[in-house]
Amino acid sequence: MSNVINLENVNSEALNRAGKIGRVGITERAHHLKREAIWKTPNGDEFPEGVKACMERARFYTQAYQASEGEPDQIRRAKAFANALDNMTIFIKDKELIVGYCTSKPEYLPLWPELSNNCNREALKEPYLTDEEKEEYRKYVEYWMPRTLQSRTERLLTDEEKDVVSTGVILGNGTYQSGYTSPSPGMANVLDNGLEKIIADVKAKLDAAEERIHGSVAFGPEEVELVKKTEEWKAMLIADEAVIRWTARYSKLATVMAEHEADPVRKAELEEIARIALKVPAKPAEHFQEAVQCIWFLTICYHQVERLSSGCPY
């Protein structure tokens, strides 16, 4: 007799009595999603068959930066992030309950032209872009060449220091050369309060700062520091409001899909996806599915859309 238990048929109390918590079966949905998952870790120097690069992030980030020349760096970065979220293609796969992705298709990977000249040159050599896409991407590479994280960092290093880093002995391949980072922002504030509360708090800080800056007779070091902080706060508003618009797009998509769904079970699931995507992360998460969806939306934003970093399962 098999000791694998189907979770759909027994409750947790029964599992505890049976003493079989450690090994349980997975649902048909989980089997389906596992089969549909696309492995994107390269084998040596090559990605698995079917994996391609997506041009959307590179396109929308470059467009925003080109349109914001002369503005503060924080504002430019936030506007690029917002432009990507406002315009990138979205989709919801069959049987998904937690939605959100960073490229136009499940088998695609994003490009980060603002980070590494080395990676940009490699992208133009690899088969993961079509010839037409390479022509487009080459234009972005030319724009970013003097502006990438790698170029800006190497201007601060001596030739000897660059040679040492390039060996990979001390810093691997160097974060600034690959553009790879590992941010781990706390999510408790968003889960507990929602982005709308954070936006209101930031606006209050901005109002107070503006009043002090423009009302000061003497403009001292504290006022100078406030001016710097206002740019950070303005960038936060741009980014947070963009996230809310982006998740609302998923809500709208799920609503449209539900209207055309014949299966009543899937229809109800899509309606619930629509409700949750409209709620979080704008408002606090109140139950498990809302919390998981909130965390996933945020993870996609700061691990894949805003930067290249670890911790995000593709």
What b/e string do you get for 124-152 counting C-beta neighbours within 10 Å, with b at 16 or more? eeeebbeeebbeebeebbeebeeebbbee
Radius of gyration for the alpha carbons in the chain, expressed in angstroms and rounded: 23
Question: How many residues does this entry show for the chain?
Answer: 314
Residue 230: alpha-carbon gap to chain centroid: 24
From first to last of its 314 residues, the chain has per-residue pLDDT tens of 333 334 344 444 543 544 444 455 788 999 889 888 888 877 767 888 889 999 999 999 999 999 999 999 999 999 999 999 999 999 999 999 999 999 999 999 999 999 999 999 999 999 999 999 999 999 999 999 999 999 999 999 999 988 887 776 665 556 777 777 777 777 899 999 999 999 999 999 999 998 888 877 667 888 888 988 999 999 999 999 999 999 999 999 999 999 999 999 999 999 999 999 999 999 999 999 999 999 999 999 988 999 887 654 33
- State how far the Cα of 108 lies from the Cα of 155, in Å rounded to an integer: 33
The structure's pTM equals 0.88
Please give the single-letter amino acid code of residue 187.
M
Strand partners, 108: 52
**Residue 179 φ/ψ region, left for φ over 0, alpha for ψ in the -120 to 50 degree band, beta for the rest:** left
Closest CA to 294 of 304, 303, 283: 283
